[in-house]
Structure 1
Amino acid sequence: MKILNSFESYIDTYNPWKNTYALSRSLLGFSTLLVLLFNSADILFSYSANNVTCENVYIPTAFCFANKYSISFEVIRYLMIFILALVVIGWRPRYTGFFHWYICYSIQTSALTIDGGEQIATVLSFLLIPVTLLDSRQNHWKIKDINYESFTKKIVLFYLVTIIKIQVFVIYLNAALERLKNKEWAEGTAIYYFFSDPVFGLPDYQLNLLNPLLESNYIVVITWLVTIFELFLAASIISNIRIKRIALILGIIFHIGIIISIGIVSFGLIMISALIIYLHPIQKNINMNWCSPLFKYISVKRKRNFKRLGGESVKFLTKLFHNI
């Protein structure tokens, strides 16, 4: 009975409308936005432009419809860029949540994708749809200090966010366990082969610099540390706040390292987005005082331009970082 009362008290004060959810969702949208900004339709469909049909998919993608009705893929790409820009700035999550998922789904299903990030983005954006439908705010950067919504809505939100956390847990656990089944990962040589790969590998200057390390016995330790670290991230779901904070920081550094080394930017941003909602307390704001000087400068120098953007995203950028 005491446990039930404690849980009821927790739900009664449950408030996910903080910048943790907002930052995670914006990063998720930004990752896909970058893919569309820097890749034309000719690149995204370089191997499948003549095979995009609605016959082999349960839910037709935007590109399926475009192909069927002879609409330029570039027009669809620019429309997606516009919608994702709205997602990033946080405008009306109740209206943009579904379209965010549909864009990710369309790219994952119809376009040329090779790093797996788009699949994770599709899953996470899908799981966020019911959360966004319950988000009545004009902008997801508009932080609510107190959640005055009904108890039923709060408990639904709690379980929805918990499902997302479990999904991220499964991603890291599965990644670690699948590696153990792979001969190269089990032997400790996978990092060597991966970094030497002509598609995913390191740039030549990095490869030449790290080659002595890659060809040494230490590579076995490094390879195994990756698997152990992913198991650690998975296990962090049941850890205390202090361990979660350490895991979050190390996880972000880990994925930034992947971005810098092998250049899969969208994948790195997607996983950082997942880590934020997975490990940071959803009811607490993320302290970002370190970027306060930058946004103060932008606020002064570009105030008029920012006003044109409108909405609570501007207030977030100019005030949040030094008020939290």
Structure 2
Amino acid sequence: MRASLSTWYEGLFVHDPWTNVYALARSLTAAALLITLSFNSVDTLFAPNEAWESPKCDGWLRWGGLFCVAPSLAWGKALAVVVLLLVVIGYLPRWTALPHVWVSVSLHNSMSMTEGGDQIAAIIALLISPIALLDSRRWHWTFKGGPVSINRSGEIRRMIANTSAMLIRLQVSVIYLHAAIGKLAVEEWVNGTAVYYWVHDPQFGPSGLRATVAEAVVSTALGVVLLTWGTLVLELALAYGLVASAPLRKALFWAGVLFHAGIAMVLGLVTFGITMSGALLLYLWPRESSPDINVHEYLYRRFSKRFGGYDKSDMKG
């Protein structure tokens, strides 16, 4: 235990968190909110109901929200789209970090129709902001290769950023643990029939061909039990990912992504799946095995082969 704690503590100062893993995760969580804004009108997002007027601007957390201080909801939406687009493309992460938090928290607090993904996107934006504020690159996709410079200021920056990354991992672990334990208090989850009722839910249930396939599966005792109890087991396994080994974390990552892709396909929770995929990247992708998901390096290699070869050293710096 002492050795593990010592390794973890030293890693706070050694590991460089400004990788394409962080970049892709940050872009995904912002993209989910951008999709929500782009495909819904302000009348839908901020529809008043019997309980409150919309946007909700009561309380100290809401009164300073973007949609409560903007001249109109349309102007607020336009500004939010611009900020989220800049975050998605990765431009000037240091300068878009706090606007990203403002937009994400404002959307969750002010919209009349929200779901769990909006809340998680706001939390991730808040917890990832110290990493972005300490990111001096013009684009958060820029490859950072070569040795890590050893100096006092660099160690402090890495310590702050890696502490924020650890808090994100702890938060995501708690999300899955709470989801699993909370289901155990519901009889339908315990007896293995809950997924049957979700598939037949008039609001979230699938339609068309998706409904035909889903109903065929959940109409069998084996299918509905496997899907229901399998969800509980997977959520508990994902919660365990906080202390799992690097190879197991990578396997859990892909299992979690497929799990949320399945939910998106069957229940239509697409933006929730995108948000959770970003959260799973920050949570489970092992730092020890691969510091980067080198998407741009892969594309560079593909194109450079046509024009005179490829030298990986070209990607450094």
How many residue pairs align between the two structures? 299
Residue 81 of structure 2 is matched in structure 1 by 81
Q: Give the C-alpha shift of residue 275 in structure 1.
A: 0.4
Cα separation, partners in 2 of 1:153 and 1:204, compared to 1, 3 Å: same
In structure 1, the partner of 2:200 is 196
CA gap of 1:32–1:8, structure 2 versus 1, over 3 A, is closer
The alpha-carbon deviation at position 150 of structure 1 amounts to: 2.0
Shift of residue 209 of structure 1? 2.7
| Aligned residue number for residue 313 of structure 1 | none
Kindly provide the CA deviation profile for residues 15-45 of structure 1, in whole angstroms up to 9, marking residues without a partner as x.
Answer: 1111000000011111111111111101111
Normalising by structure 2, we get a TM-score of: 0.85
CA distance in structure 2 between the partners assigned to 1:247 and 1:206 by the alignment: 26
How far is 1:138 from its partner?
1.5
Kept after mapping to 2: 8 A contact 1:115/1:264: no
Residue 254 in structure 1 maps to residue 259 in structure 2? yes
Does the 8 Å contact 1:20/1:281 carry over to 2?
no
Say whether residues 1:44 and 2:40 are aligned partners: no
Q: Would you say the 8 A contact 1:52–1:63 is kept in 2?
A: yes
Residue aligning to 2:97: 97
Instruction: After superposing the two structures, state which structure 1 stretch, 176-185 or 111-120, moved more.
Output: 111-120
Q: Name the residue aligned to 1:138.
A: 138
Indicate the residue corresponding to 2:24 in structure 1. Answer: 23
- 1:72 lines up with 2:72 in the alignment: yes
Shift of 1:198: 1.4
Contact 2:57 2:110 survives alignment (8 Å)? no
CA contact (8 A) 2:56 2:112 kept: no
In the other structure, the counterpart of 1:286 is: 293
Which runs of structure 2 are paired with 1:76-225 in the superposition (5 Å)?
Answer: 76-145=76-145, 146-148=147-149, 150-218=154-222, 219-225=224-230
CA distance in structure 1 between the aligned counterparts of 2:5 and 2:218, rounded to whole angstroms = 53
* Cα pair distance change 1:80/1:115, threshold 3 Å: same
Q: Tell me the residue number matched to 2:58.
A: 55
Distance 1:204 1:291, change over 3 A: farther
Identify which range, 72-81 or 170-179, moves more after superposition: 72-81
Structure 1 segments, 4+ long, off by >6 Å, are 1-5
TM-score, normalising length from structure 1? 0.83
Contact 1:203 1:262 in 2 (8 A): no
Compared with structure 1, are the counterparts of its residues 229 and 57 closer, same or farther at alpha carbon in structure 2 (3 Å cutoff)?
same
Offset from partner CA, 1:264-319 (integer Å, 9 cap, x none):
111000000000010113461125499749x859xx9xxxxxxxxxxxxxxxxxx9
Residue 237 of structure 1: CA displacement?
1.4
AA matched with 2:96 = T
Does structure 2 conserve the Cα–Cα contact (< 8 Å) formed by 1:63 and 1:73? yes
Counterpart residue number, 1:240: 245
RMSD, matched Cα: 2.9
- What are the superposed Cα offsets for residues 165-184 of structure 1, whole Å, 9 maximum, x if unpaired? 00000011110110111121
Would the alpha carbon gap of residues 274 and 194 (structure 1) be closer, same or farther in structure 2, given more than 3 Å must change?
same
State the SS of the aligned residue for 1:281.
coil
Which sections of structure 2, spanning at least 5 residues, go unmatched? none
Change in CA separation of 1:21 and 1:74 when aligned onto 2, cut-off 3 Å: same
Q: How far apart, CA to CA, are the structure 2 residues paired with 1:285 and 1:131?
A: 16
**Aligned residue in 2 for 1:276:** 281
